[in-house]
Every structure is written in structure tokens, then in C-alpha cells.
Amino acid sequence: MAVDLVAVWDVPCSDGIHQVEVEHGTISGRRIIKVDGQEIVRRDWMFRLVGSETFEVGRPRVRCTVKIEPCGAFAYQYSLDVDGKAFRSFTEHQSKVMRTWLVTAREGTYRVVLEKGTLDVWVNGRKLETAGEFVEDGTETHFEVGKKPAYIRAVTSGDKRQGLVYSLYVQEQLIPEHKETL
């Protein structure tokens, strides 16, 4: 029974980027959804070829819905809603509420994420304990990347619309921000 891979999305969350894959059998109606290669939804012999499937990704858990809709004769359109928003709106929102850096070390690459709203810091999918302190021109949030001391400095930009500027330092070395392209 033929089931085709019909859609793939990379969903940016605090704990990492999660890949959502949708397979759809347009004759049998079979639906398979995988997150990060793990099958999480399987529906065999669906009489309705269209519909939606809801599931969760990431930590904290984010609700996702894949929608399968007709688009002409024997053609289908696939869309993903994440956290109640269309995928594109969700990724734009994430780019505003998170700051991401990639730190390269001998033992590998670390993905460091700051959630601006909560000031939670995630490293390679793990939420860290941090210590905050006020400094002369703003605040610093201290933690470790691997075994190396690190901190995120938040200072005012001087522009009301831009708000705070966040910079990551690992062993006193400034790490450039990483813009995730999805």
C-alpha cells in the first residue's frame, strides 16, 4: 500500500528544532506523522481522506495540528498549525521571543536558547539553572556551556521599539547570534 511523504516542517522550540513529517496514502487514507523520526500518529484505512491530526512536540509541550484539505480533483493541501498559529506565524513569533546562539567546542556544538519572556536558558534541549545579577549597564544571567562559564548580558538598546539587546559570552568571548533559517 503506497504512502507518500507529503510534507516536512522544522518546528523551532526552546529545547531544539523538531522535524515533523507527514505521510499520506491518497487511496487508503492512511496517515502517518513522525516527530524527529519517531512515529507518533498512525491511522490506517481512513474512509475520509481529509481531516486533521493533533499531537505535541518539544519541552515544554507545544500543541500541533496537521490539516489535510482537498485542493482540486484528487489533490490535497497540507498545513501545520503550531500553538494555535499557522506555521509561518509561529516561526515569526519564535524569532521574536527567543534568541539562539551556536557555540562550537572541542566536544561538539551547543545550541543555546534564551526565552526572552521567562529568561529561561536552554542548552542542547536541557533547561539550565541560572544565576542572575545586576551589572552597571544591565543584567547578566550566568550558567555553564559544557564545563565553561557563560553568561547572557541584557542591555538597553536606547531604542524603545528595539528594547533590550542580548549577547552571549562564553569564557568572556562574545558569541554571534545565530539566525535559524527554517
Distance separating alpha carbons of residues 10 and 37, to the nearest angstrom: 12
pLDDT digits (tens, 9 = 90+) for 80-90: 999 999 999 99
The domain that contains 149 carries what CATH number?
A: 2.40.128.180
Query: Domain range for residue 14?
Result: 4-83
Q: For residue 15, what pLDDT is reported?
A: 94
**pLDDT tens-place string over residues 67-113:** 999 988 778 999 999 999 999 999 999 999 999 999 998 889 999 99
Measured in degrees and rounded to the nearest 5, phi and psi for residue 95 equal -65, -20
Q: What is the pLDDT of residue 109?
A: 95
Instruction: Give this prediction's pTM.
Output: 0.85
Average pLDDT over residues 47-54: 87
Alpha carbon distance 116, 93 (integer Å): 12
| Mean per-residue pLDDT, 22-31 | 86
Whole-angstrom Cα distance, residue 171 to residue 72? 57
Q: Which of 61, 83, 105 is the last residue of a domain?
A: 83
Q: Which three cell numbers stand for residue 35?
A: 516527530
Arithmetic mean of pLDDT, 109-135: 95
Indicate whether 72 and 116 sit together in one domain: no
Q: What angle do CA 60, 61, 65 make, to 5 degrees?
A: 150
Q: Is residue 141 part of a domain?
A: yes
